[in-house]
Each structure stands twice: as C-alpha cells, then as structure tokens.
C-alpha cells in the first residue's frame, strides 16, 4: 500500500543547490505554499460533507453519528433513527433505504461488504477496515489490515477513513507514532467538512499552546454542531484564552446547527429509544 502523498522521507528528493539566491527563492516558495495551505485549511470545509446527511430525510445526522443512525451494509447507507422509526411505523421490512431484506448473520453481512469492496466502494472499504480493527463479523483482529483498508478507503475519498488514520498515526495505534502524518490526515478531511477531524485539529493546537488557532478550528466545528468544540471554546473563555464574543458566536452557531438537525421523527425516535 502506498502511503498518502507528501508523507515519508520528503527530503530525499529535495534539490540541493549551492546558489544562495536560488535557495532563498526556494525557501520563499515553500513558505508561500505553506501560507496558502494554512489559509485553505481555515477557509475550506465550513459545511459538513454530504455523507453526513441522512439519505432519506436529507437532514444532517446528530452527534455522535453512530448513536443517531445505523449503517445498512446492503447499500452502505447510514440512515437516521427518525427514518428508521418512520419505516417501522409503516410496516416496512428490510433496509429503510433500498428495501433489501436484512440478514442478521456475520457471513452474509461480510459477503455483502466484500462485494462492495471489490467494486472499490470507499464506505465499504472503510467499514471492512473497522471490522478488522475490532475483530468483528467473525474476522480475526488485524490492525495492519485495518490500516491498509483505511488507507485505500481514504484514497477513494472516505473522510471517515482519514479520521481513523489520523487517530492511528497520531496516537500510534497499530502503527509507529507519526503525529505530522496523523495531522495531515485530519487536515485533508477537515477541509472537506469532516467535523471530528476539525475538532481534533483544534485540540492539537490547544495542546501545543496555540490558543488563537485552536479557537479558529473549534469555531468552525462548533458551528457544524460539535458540542466538544463548543465546550472547548467555553473552557478557553473561562481560562481567559478566548473572548466572550467568541464564546457567544460559537454558542449561537452551535444552537443553529442543532436546531437544523431536529425533526419530529427524530424526537419521537429519541423518546421511544430507537
Ligand atoms: Zn432520516
Ligand atoms: Zn440498503
């Protein structure tokens, strides 16, 4: 498996020049490139990625997404609890999205997933990686295989895969710790609207004492509905590291995002414990 672009031994191909002026201009190019990237990082990905919407009611999922929805491996669609309840009330059997009869045994579920993986479906590839990571669906736990599948899924466009790879490399789960590589995975997905990746970028800045950038990242994720990011800004405000206006802005944005994720069906599902 090829590592994502830009990782590994980057100095290997670096030009070596003895001309001082050229070296200076190469440095300028690099710093201009870094500045452009930092600008993009903070200005892109302010809308959640489309896969975070329920494919039936089109509302964004609540957080944590896994608690407010379910993945159907027949079509790899993540359906919200409100739509699951609505389907049940209509007496519909099978997948709420594609109507495939649901099978509740590991072997048939695994076969469905593998069929989609063989067609290079990014979500299925990421999902199979999860199963290897935890040793589920009758598979033996195999973290190396999980990392390989997530890497493939990330290349196919799965932002979730970037998130898990980011965590694995940042914390050294199943791989050698490589924090810059982990951060790059989070950055790539955050720029496309992955909320947890954006939150982690804020957390990383906070840990390293860059409060200004931490607030900027968390402001973006709080406005997309991340309670963890809102709480981060609140804590920083209480410690004198963020302004009252920033906390108020985050609170307002978070409230609007939460309001947009609500529906009568979802409230009913919550009440009935779906
Ligand atoms: Zn829905
Ligand atoms: Zn389905």
Q: In this predicted model, what pLDDT tens digit does every residue of 229-258 receive, in sequence order?
A: 999 999 999 999 999 999 999 999 999 999
Whole-structure pTM value: 0.88
pLDDT the model gives residue 23: 65
- Ligand 2 centre distance from Cα of residue 87 (Å): 13
Average pLDDT of the residues in 107-132: 96
Separation of 56 CA from ligand 1 center, angstroms? Answer: 5
Residues at Cβ < 5 Å from ligand 2 ion: 72, 74-75, 95, 97-98, 100
Q: Which ligand is nearest to the CA of 87?
A: 1
What is the distance in A from the centroid of ligand 1 to the CA of 38? Answer: 35
Ligand 1 centroid–CA 232 distance in Å is: 29
* Residues 95-105 pLDDT 10s: 999 999 887 79
Lookup: tokens for 179? 């924090």
Taking the centre of ligand 1 as the mean of its atom positions, its distance from the CA of residue 58, in whole angstroms, is 6
Tokens 């020049």 locate to 17
- pLDDT for residue 192 is more than 60: yes
Which ligand is nearest to the Cα of residue 74, counting in written order?
2
Structure tokens at 265: 């069906």
- The alpha carbon of residue 230 and the mean position of all alpha carbons in its chain are separated, in whole angstroms, by 17
Where residue 2 falls among pLDDT bands split at 50, 70, 90? very low
Residue 149 CA to ligand 1 center (angstroms) comes to: 28
Q: Which residue, 184, 195, 262, 186, is CA-closest to 224?
A: 195
Predicted pLDDT at 104? 76
**Is the pLDDT assigned to residue 1 strictly greater than 60?**
no
pLDDT for the residue 19: 53
- pLDDT of res. 25: 84
CA of residue 98 to ligand 1 center, whole Å:
14
Judged against a pLDDT cut of 90, whether residue 12 lies above it is answered with no
Q: What is the pLDDT of residue 248?
A: 98
> Which ranges constitute the DSSP H helices of 90-158?
106-118, 122-134, 143-155
Percentage of the chain surpassing pLDDT 90? Answer: 86
Q: Which pLDDT band, with edges at 50, 70 and 90, does 120 fall under? A: very high
* 12-16, 49-53, 69-73, 166-170: the lowest-pLDDT one: 12-16
pLDDT at 7: 35
User: Region 140-152: what's the mean pLDDT?
Assistant: 97
Give the pLDDT confidence score for residue 22 in this predicted structure.
64
For residue 79, report the distance from its CA to the centre of ligand 2, in Å.
9
pLDDT digits (tens, 9 = 90+) for 154-163: 999 999 999 9
Closest CA to 100 of 77, 67, 124: 77
Kindly report, residue by residue over 23-68, the tens digit of the pLDDT.
678 888 889 999 999 999 999 999 999 999 999 999 999 999 999 9
Q: Identify the nearest ligand to the CA of 116 by its number.
A: 2
From the CA of 130, how far away is ligand 2's center (Å)? Answer: 19
The C-alpha angle with vertex 37 and arms to 33 and 41, in degrees rounded to 5, equals: 175
Tally helices (H) and strands (E) across the chain: 12, 2
Q: What's the CA-to-centroid distance between 97 and ligand 2, angstroms?
A: 5
Report which bound ligand comes closest to the CA of 96. Answer: 2
CB 264 within 8 A of CB 80: no
Q: Would the pLDDT of 79 be above 60?
A: yes
The CA 49 to ligand 2 mean position distance, Å, reads 20
């Amino acid at each position: 498996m090829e590592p994502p672009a830009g990782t590994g031994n980057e100095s290997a191909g670096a030009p070596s020049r003895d001309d001082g002026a050229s070296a200076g201009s190469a440095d300028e190019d690099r710093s201009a490139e870094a500045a452009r990237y930092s600008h993009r990082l903070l200005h892109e990905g302010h809308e959640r990625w489309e896969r975070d919407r329920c494919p039936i009611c089109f509302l964004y999922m609540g957080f944590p997404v896994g608690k407010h929805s379910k993945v159907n491996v027949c079509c790899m669609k993540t359906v919200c609890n409100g739509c699951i309840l609505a389907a049940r009330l209509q007496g519909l059997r099978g997948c709420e999205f594609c109507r495939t009869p649901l099978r509740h045994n590991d072997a048939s579920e695994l076969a469905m997933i593998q069929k989609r993986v063989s067609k290079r479906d990014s979500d299925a590839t990421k999902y199979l990686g999860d199963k290897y990571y935890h040793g589920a669906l009758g598979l033996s736990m195999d973290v190396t295989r999980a990392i390989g599948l997530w890497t493939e899924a990330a290349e196919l466009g799965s932002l979730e895969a970037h998130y898990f790879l980011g965590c694995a490399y940042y914390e050294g789960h199943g791989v050698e710790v490589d924090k810059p590589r982990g951060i790059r995975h989070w950055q790539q997905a955050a720029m496309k609207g992955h909320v947890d990746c954006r939150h982690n970028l804020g957390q990383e800045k906070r840990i390293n004492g860059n409060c200004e950038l931490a607030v900027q990242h968390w402001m973006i994720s709080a406005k997309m509905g991340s309670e963890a990011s809102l709480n981060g800004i609140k804590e920083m405000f209480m410690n004198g590291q963020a302004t009252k206006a920033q906390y108020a802005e985050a609170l307002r944005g978070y409230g609007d995002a939460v309001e947009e994720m609500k529906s009568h069906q979802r409230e009913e599902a919550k009440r009935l414990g779906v």
